[in-house]
């Protein structure tokens, strides 16, 4: 094949990709719910970035206490009221936004990395390797993620880093299974056989020919899992295994508020609403992403 | 039929390596990690001698393979170890707490299946119209709340403000639990013919189960809707409509049946999720099940219970998956097993 031909071929392919992308964006923009999700999420992102500079009492997120002002109801001075040591809940909720997003992102990225690596090795090489990896996956999948995450995190020790490690360690099997099944079906495609025929290395076949075609379903899974990851991390924080005081972690803040619920309802209610807002907007968005990347899911 | 039996025997046999793997996993989690459970159990004043004695008592001074061997052979004899904290037998605790979690989870699965099927069917019948969008928003809405937080809010609304339901425990302090048959209060009280206790335990069960069910609502609704749309598109539906069968009969008798079979797998997969979600719901409602037990144990680094609970979860989860397959085959004879 001459150079010129191959260039025109690749530009035709780019053209096709571009059109596909445009169609996707069109579908996405026509989905009012995902646009709402995107709007809320952008707002959340902005809040996460500017929170340290704009909240009224930034020091309340890092250990300052004002016992004289404890458990005050929402007011002009404290929009969301104050907690048991007089910290401004509004400031703490906003300061916690960045942490929540960071935790969710880290968990999904770590889990996806482990899962995609093991899953593609299992699917591509098959046989013994496949058997071994999938048996390990089965063991992890045999126990609900939350329960195993509690066990692992308890063993590693309390703390937000260990929460992220613990959850990632129980979250990867889903990605491994998905990637494996995608790789197995793509392995049979003609273009993979062609690459094999002209002597491409396994590495090249896997990364240049197979995985790029498996990206969409993996992204869909990452986006739908993100909300669950945030919820799971908050749950471990709520149980008391996660961030330790004074870190403004939403789950831990709800746990703090339990003792004062419902008479001093604001301590627990506002961090919960914050979690809801992030997870809800992300779920709306994820729904839209699924429609774009996997049109069969919605008719 | 023989083929099927062979398939299921193989599935059950495959449970063995799975459980061995799981026991290795839980054992490694509990022994290879940092943290000092003995120090925690012995308390801050404990002298090194006391700690050493405790270590010996729990067999922690032996080599890891020996410890593992003892642990696994104990599992088979019904000796699941002792809690470092309460000194109670883990097996006894599990027997006491497991039925509570099972009851809560079953109730939640039932509620989720009913609500999810209704929402999904409506969404499909009114595809891309208001009811469809509405059902989509409702399920996304409820699945996005942290369940422990929603549980607190429901406690507040239905317990304290409206005073419709009791808000914690499985029964009032004054009501004696029914004599044990299964350990599930609703079932036992019915079997004993004690309607009053039955009513009371259902009342205690309802709100926790409702909150828990939200965790599975989204996926059950979504899959029902998809299956329903697929079924409505089938030739047999077109034929039935063409010959003029009333719509009620077409949907109610022919479409729903196929949809429900297809949904069944998802429902039973959700069983595992909900049983995990029960951990959080139990903490809020003071529901004395496995969830409350694992939370307390994990905060005390009390490893024998954590291992036991994890293994129980594994056994139940895997068994449910096999039973699902079996049911699926019974309900849909076209399915072939290899």
Question: Is A49 in the B-facing interface, judged by CB distances under 8 Å?
Answer: no
First to last CA, chain A: 41
Q: Which residues of chain B have pLDDT under 70?
A: 1-4, 32-37, 39-44, 173, 331-338
CA triplet B200, B205, B206: central angle to 5 degrees? 105
ipTM of the shown complex: 0.82
CA triplet B13, B19, B21: central angle to 5 degrees? 115
- Whether A37 and A288 have beta carbons less than 8 Å apart is answered as yes
CA triplet A103, A105, A110: central angle to 5 degrees? 95
Q: Which of B21, B141, B298 sits opposite A139 (nearest CB)?
A: B21
Containing structural domain, residue A285: 3-297
Question: Is A254 in the B-facing interface, judged by CB distances under 8 Å?
Answer: yes
First to last CA, chain B: 12
3-class state of residue B82 by DSSP: strand
CA triplet A84, A88, A90: central angle to 5 degrees? 125
Q: Which of residues 8-47 of A touch B (CB under 8 A)?
A: 33
Q: How many domains does chain A have?
A: 1
Residue A270 CA to its chain's centroid (Å): 22
Q: Which of A151, A242, A290 is the best substitution to test chain B (most B C-beta atoms within 10 A)? A: A151
Distance from CA of B315 to the nearest CA of A (A): 8
- Tokens at B64, concatenated: 């890891």
Q: Residues B234-264: pLDDT tens digits?
A: 788 788 888 887 877 777 777 787 787 777 7
The listed CATH number (1.10.760.10, 3.50.50.60, 3.40.50.300, 1.10.3720.10) that belongs to domain B90-299: 1.10.3720.10
As a whole number of angstroms, the distance between CA A239 and CA B280 comes to 8
pLDDT at site A111: 95
As a whole number of angstroms, the distance between CA A238 and CA B282 comes to 13
pTM of the full structure: 0.84
Distance from CA of B150 to the nearest CA of A (A): 8
As a whole number of angstroms, the distance between CA A183 and CA A271 comes to 41
B272, containing H or E segment? helix B256-285
- Residue B82 pairs with which residues in a beta bridge? B89
Phi and psi torsions of A263, nearest 5°: -60, -45
CB atoms within 10 A of CB B93: 21
Cβ contacts of B318 on chain A, cutoff 8 Å: 142
Sign of CA dihedral B208, B212, B218, B223: negative
Q: Residues B257-289: pLDDT tens digits?
A: 778 777 777 787 788 788 888 888 998 888 888
As a whole number of angstroms, the distance between CA B101 and CA B274 comes to 10
- Residue A88 pairs with which residues in a beta bridge? A82
- Whether B298 and B306 have beta carbons less than 8 Å apart is answered as yes
- Tokens at A217, concatenated: 């379903």
A219 contacts: CB under 8 Å, gap ≥ 6: A289, A293
Q: What number of H helices and E strands is found in chain B?
A: 14, 0
- Tokens at B248, concatenated: 């009620």
- Tokens at B38, concatenated: 């003995």
As a whole number of angstroms, the distance between CA A258 and CA B149 comes to 9
Half-sphere exposure of A205 (CA within 13 A, CB side): 24
Q: Which CATH number goes with the domain that contains A174?
A: 1.10.3720.10
- Tokens at B336, concatenated: 């072939």
- Whether A145 and B313 have beta carbons less than 8 Å apart is answered as no
- Residue B89 pairs with which residues in a beta bridge? B82
pLDDT at site A106: 95
Whole-Å CA distances, A223 to A40, A183, A213, A216, A279: 16, 20, 18, 11, 11
Per-domain residue ranges of chain B: 90-299
What average pLDDT values come out for chain A (299 residues) when binned by 10 residues?
Answer: 57 72 72 83 90 79 76 80 82 89 94 94 88 89 87 87 92 92 86 83 84 85 88 92 85 87 85 92 82 62
Q: Which of residues 69-108 of A touch B (CB under 8 A)?
A: none
Question: Is A159 in the B-facing interface, judged by CB distances under 8 Å?
Answer: no
Distance from CA of B195 to the nearest CA of A (A): 33
3-class state of residue A82 by DSSP: strand
Of A215, A127, A218, the closest CA to residue A177 belongs to A218
B310 contacts: CB under 8 Å, gap ≥ 6: A143, A147, A148, A151, B22, B26, B29
Q: Which of B34, B143, B277 sits opposite A157 (nearest CB)?
A: B34
């Amino acid at each position: 094949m001459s150079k010129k031909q191959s260039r025109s071929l690749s530009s035709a392919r780019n053209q096709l990709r571009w059109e596909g992308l445009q169609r996707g964006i069109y579908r996405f923009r026509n989905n009012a719910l995902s646009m709402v999700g995107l709007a809320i999420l952008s707002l959340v992102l902005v809040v996460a970035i500017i929170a340290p500079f704009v909240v009224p009492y930034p020091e309340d997120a890092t250990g300052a206490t004002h016992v004289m002002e404890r458990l005050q109801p929402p007011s002009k001075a404290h929009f969301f009221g104050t907690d048991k040591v007089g910290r401004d809940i509004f400031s703490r909720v906003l300061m916690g936004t960045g942490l929540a997003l960071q935790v969710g992102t880290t968990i999904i990225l770590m889990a996806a990395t482990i899962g995609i690596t093991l899953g593609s090795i299992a699917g591509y090489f098959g046989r013994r390797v496949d058997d071994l990896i999938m048996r390990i996956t089965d063991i992890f999948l045999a126990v609900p993620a939350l329960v195993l995450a509690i066990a692992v995190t308890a063993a590693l020790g309390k703390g937000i880093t260990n929460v992220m490690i613990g959850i990632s360690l129980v979250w990867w099997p889903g990605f491994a299974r998905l990637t494996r099944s995608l790789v197995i079906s793509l392995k049979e495609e003609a273009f993979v056989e062609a690459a094999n025929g002209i002597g491409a290395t396994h590495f090249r076949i896997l990364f240049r020919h197979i995985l790029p075609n498996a990206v969409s379903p993996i992204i869909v899974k990452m986006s739908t899992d993100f909300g669950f990851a945030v919820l799971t991390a908050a749950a471990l924080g709520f149980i008391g295994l996660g961030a330790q005081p004074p870190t403004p972690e939403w789950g831990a803040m709800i746990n703090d508020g339990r003792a004062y619920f419902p008479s001093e309802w604001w301590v627990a209610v506002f961090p919960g609403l914050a979690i809801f807002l992030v997870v809800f907007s992300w779920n709306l968005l994820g729904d839209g992403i699924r429609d774009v990347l996997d049109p069969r899911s919605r008719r | 039929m023989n083929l099927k039996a062979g398939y299921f025997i193989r599935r059950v046999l495959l449970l063995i390596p799975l459980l061995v793997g799981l026991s290795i996993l839980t054992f490694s989690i509990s022994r290879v990690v940092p943290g000092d459970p003995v120090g925690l159990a012995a308390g801050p004043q404990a002298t090194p001698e006391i700690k050493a004695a405790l270590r010996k008592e729990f067999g922690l001074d032996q080599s890891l393979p020996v410890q593992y061997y003892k642990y696994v052979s104990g599992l088979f004899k019904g000796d699941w170890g002792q809690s470092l904290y309460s000194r109670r037998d883990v097996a006894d605790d599990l027997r006491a707490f497991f039925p509570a979690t099972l009851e809560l989870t079953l109730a939640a699965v039932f509620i989720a299946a009913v609500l999810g099927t209704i929402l999904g069917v409506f969404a499909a019948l009114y595809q891309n119209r208001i009811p469809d969008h509405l059902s989509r928003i409702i399920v996304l809405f409820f699945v996005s709340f942290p369940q422990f937080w929603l549980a607190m809010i429901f406690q507040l609304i239905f317990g304290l403000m409206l005073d419709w339901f009791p808000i914690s425990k499985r029964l009032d302090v004054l009501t004696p639990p029914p004599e044990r048959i299964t350990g599930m209060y609703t079932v036992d009280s019915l079997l004993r013919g004690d309607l009053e206790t039955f009513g009371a335990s259902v009342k205690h069960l309802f709100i926790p189960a409702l909150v828990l069910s939200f965790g599975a609502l989204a996926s059950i609704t979504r899959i029902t809707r998809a299956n329903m749309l697929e079924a409505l598109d089938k030739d047999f539906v077109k034929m039935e409509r063409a010959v003029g069968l009333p719509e009620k009969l077409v949907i109610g008798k022919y479409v729903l049946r196929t949809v429900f079979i297809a949904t069944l797998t998802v429902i039973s997969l959700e069983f595992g999720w909900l049983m995990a979600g029960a951990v959080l719901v139990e903490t809020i409602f003071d529901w004395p099940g496995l969830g409350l037990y694992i939370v307390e144990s994990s905060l005390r680094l009390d490893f024998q219970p954590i291992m036991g609970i994890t293994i129980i979860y594994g056994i139940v989860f895997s068994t449910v998956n096999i039973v699902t397959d079996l049911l699926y085959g019974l309900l849909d004879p076209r399915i072939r097993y290899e």
